[in-house]
Amino acid sequence: PGLLGSHFCEFWMWFCVYLSRNFSSVTHRISYESWLASRGLMLSPFHVRWQTTMFNRLFAYCARINPRALYLWFSSGLVFGVAAMLGSVLLLIRTLQQTYAQMTTDNPRIGGQQALQVVVPGFNLPTSQLAYFFIALLLSGLVHELGHAVAALREQVRVNGFGMFVFVVYPGAFVDLFTTHLNLISPTQQLRIFCAGVWHNFILCLVALAFLFLLPVFLFPAYSTGGGALVTEVVQGSAADGPRGLSVGDIVTGLEDCPVSGVEDWSSCLAHLSHTPQTGYCVPVAGLQPSWAHGRAFKRLDGTMDCCSNNSLTDLCFSYMKPPGRGIREREFACMPVRKMVTGTRACRGDEDCAAHSHAASVCVTPSLENQTRFIRVTHPPNTHMLFVGYPPHLQYAVSLTNFVPRFGFLHLDLPVFLETFCKYLVSLSGALAVVNSVPCFALDGQWMLNALLEATLVTVVTDRGKRELIGFFLLLAGSALLAANMALGLWMVTAR
């Protein structure tokens, strides 16, 4: 309902813009359009655009910084842009093959991970992540256009202005170049200008990636890492919630006998516990007292055994091999108090593990649970173990964790999470802009990159300019079809999920 409501408000907002522009009186419309033009604004259905010349001096200043270094910088961008144009086509072909393979399966979820995904807020982008998405997208667009502007001024092409726009809900930026100047320079100079955008997006992606990896170093004076995974959020009503569950600020250091020093360990330990047999616990033989009343075991529908028929929240059915000296060894079952059984005990896979670490006679008792269900002890000192019974991925989705533990009480838990998440979005979106804009497709940087490349390379082979333009047209048509097919199938995958 919240998503539908936001789209409904969006529709009426744009509808009111359309009415105010097209159905007002002529006098009001002229004054209204004059007011918009004086402020560099342009309004149309689902599109708002703003343009200004206030940043031209900044662009000119940047274009005068060390001309030789800028020449090498944008020449490197030219090489990268040409390579990226070829690489983006190969990537889209591979992605199209993967998406088609997913479509032909019975379940659209089955298949490899897509290299490029269409992002639709509310479908595959949580509303809690919208701020990260839009800020990272806008910053990527600004850096992209900054590259075009500085490269153009360095090649003596005038910049008419810089602007930003919002199309439906997606923000972006642009630079307006003087076309006459652009047509007078050589194709190689044009290539430096056209490739500068994707080059700067690639560099921004590398910078964000480096910052992400060096984040522990930057935050070292205030936050420590390697001591466990810090809980930043617990989903209310989830398996980790409750008086004896996890709380915000707890530091998880282990899952059963698997040590946890960070979020990566948490995920890998849960994956390991999901695909290995249930862990057992060493219990002294003397602890298996008759007063704990062995329940009569019965088979569940999946074929596993249970012996606790009263659905107790404190008892659990355990299985173990009958200790030696009491006749033939056979598997027995007992319904026993779960916390009392596993508190302070060593994990084991068999009776031999218990014999090697205990002087008293001990047996390895194992919770008897349904298939894929696991019993997991979560260590979060100084609190007692949190005991989890269920499907391990449910535990992973129940909590949010971070590697960064504040050294001082006044530090905010979410600051490293914000920086980490924003860097990940910046890497993804800036990298995506570099890839998509490199595609030889109409209305993208790839169109102008391809045209300039053909003019620079085919002028001696295909002397007729009309033939070169025809070759470029068909290449652009193929690239546009490839990108459109990827987007259409990507939207299908989003809605099918």
106-120 average pLDDT score: 56
Q: Which residue has the higher pLDDT, 332 or 155?
A: 155
What was the pLDDT predicted at 155? 96
In 111-166, which residue ranges form alpha helices assigned H by DSSP?
130-154
The mean pLDDT of 154-183, rounded to a whole number, is 91
Which of 20-24, 137-141, 341-345 has the lowest average pLDDT? 20-24
Least confident span in 9-13, 133-137, 410-414: 9-13
Residue 340 is predicted with a pLDDT of: 84
Residue 383 CB neighbours (<10 A): 14
Helix axis angle, 187-213 relative to 414-438, nearest 10°?
A: 160
The residues near 179 (Cβ < 8 Å, ≥ 6 apart) are: none
Q: How far is CA 259 from CA 226, 263, 264, 386, in A?
A: 11, 11, 11, 15
Instruction: Report pLDDT for 107.
Output: 52
* DSSP code per residue over 285-316: GGGS-GGG-PPPPEE-TTS-EE--TT--SSEE
Instruction: Extract the tokens encoding 419.
Output: 């920086």
Q: Looking at per-residue confidence, does 432 or 118 come out higher? A: 432
Q: Which residues pair with 400 in a beta bridge?
A: 233
State the Cα torsion 37-40-44-45 to the nearest 10°: -140
Rounded Cα distance, 391 and 153, in Å:
60
Q: In this model, does residue 477 exceed pLDDT 70?
A: yes
Question: Tokens 């690239």 label which residue?
Answer: 479
Q: Kindly report, residue by residue over 226-235, the tens digit of the pLDDT.
A: 999 999 999 9
Residue 145 designated active-site: yes
Return the pLDDT at 1.
34
Judge whether 26 and 53 are in contact, CB under 8 Å.
no
Q: Considering the candidates 33, 145, 370, 455, report the single residue annotated as catalytic.
A: 145
Cβ partners under 8 Å of residue 306, min gap 6: 297, 298, 299, 300, 317, 368
Sign of CA dihedral 357, 358, 361, 362: negative
Q: What is the largest CA-CA distance in the chain?
A: 105
Q: How many residues appear in the chain?
A: 497
Cβ neighbours of residue 428 under 8 Å, at least 6 residues apart? 136
**286 contacts 275 by C-beta, under 8 angstroms:** no
Phi, then psi, of 243 in degrees rounded to 5 = -60, -35
Side chain identity at 459, as an amino acid letter?
V
pLDDT for 24-54, tens place per residue?
455 566 676 777 777 788 887 778 889 999 9
Residue 497 has what pLDDT? 57
| Residue 188: both structure tokens together | 């190689």
Coil, strand, or helix at residue 243?
coil
34 versus 378: the higher-pLDDT residue is 378
Q: What share of the chain is helix, strand, coil (3-state, %, to 5)?
A: 50, 20, 30
Least confident among 130-144, 199-213, 326-340 = 326-340
Q: Write out pLDDT tens, residues 193-209.
A: 999 999 999 999 999 99
Average pLDDT for 181-189: 95
CA distance 396 to 259: 16
**Around 496, how many Cα atoms within 13 Å sit in the side-chain half-sphere?**
17
Considering only residues 297 and 50, tell me which one the structure prediction assigns the higher pLDDT: 50
> What's the CA gap between 436 and 438, in Å, rounded?
5
Give percent of the chain with pLDDT exceeding 70.
Answer: 85
Q: How far apart are CA 307 and CA 319, in angstroms?
A: 9
Give the model's pLDDT for residue 308.
81
